[in-house]
Amino acid sequence: MLPFDYNEFIKLKITGTQIAYSIVCLRKLWLFSNYISFEHTSQYVELGKIIDQTSFKRDKKYEWEIGDTIKVDFIKVKDGIIIHEIKKSKALEEAHKWQVKYYIFYLKNKGIKVLKGIIHYPKIFRKIEVNLNKKDENLIKDKLIFIKNFLKNPKPPPVERKKYCKKCAYFEFCFI
């Protein structure tokens, strides 16, 4: 594991979306982090927003945001906080898990007791529980250091075709 300075990490304001994009596609991470965004033009992103807005309406009043770094779909409190995230599809489940693990890590380092996270996939009536262990914490620290150094690149990495590219908001930017 690389040396990790928590105070430096807080200043970086790395978001859960950036953690997820670092797993999904480094080009997307670089573009998004450099304020090149196409999410507003994507029908898939729009569908995800609709699913988010129409699912768990009673619980959505507990949406939680910390600065411009952490934005959790909703929380429940029961002997500690349970983070809930709503996702459109499980196609990027691994990235979703790490996004939630990052939220737990972030809040834990702020002194907030988080019991676990739950990712909801309303379209397929599925949910998964997410927990954070010491190994995960070390991997997140390494990931944060990687992202910090990666974003120093003056240009995005070259296009790399992946199976989910056609549904990506950046598809036309990368391939047309």
Q: Cβ-count burial of 83 within 10 angstroms (0-12 exposed, 13-18 middle, 19+ buried)?
A: buried
Q: What's the pLDDT at 59?
A: 59
* pTM: predicted TM-score of the whole model, two decimal places: 0.86
Any idea how long the chain is? 176
Taken in order of first residue, the domains within the chain and their CATH numbers are 6-175 (3.90.320.10)
Residues ≥6 apart with Cβ < 8 Å to 42: 168, 169
Task: Say if residues 122 and 86 touch (Cβ distance below 8 Å).
Answer: yes
Residues ≥6 apart with Cβ < 8 Å to 41: 169
What is the helix (H) or strand (E) element at residue 77, kind and residue range? Answer: strand 74-77
pLDDT (average), residues 160-176 = 90
pLDDT in tens, 14-47: 999 999 999 999 999 999 999 997 766 656 556 5
Task: Say if residues 92 and 24 touch (Cβ distance below 8 Å).
Answer: yes
Give CA–CA dist 98/96, Å, rounded. 5
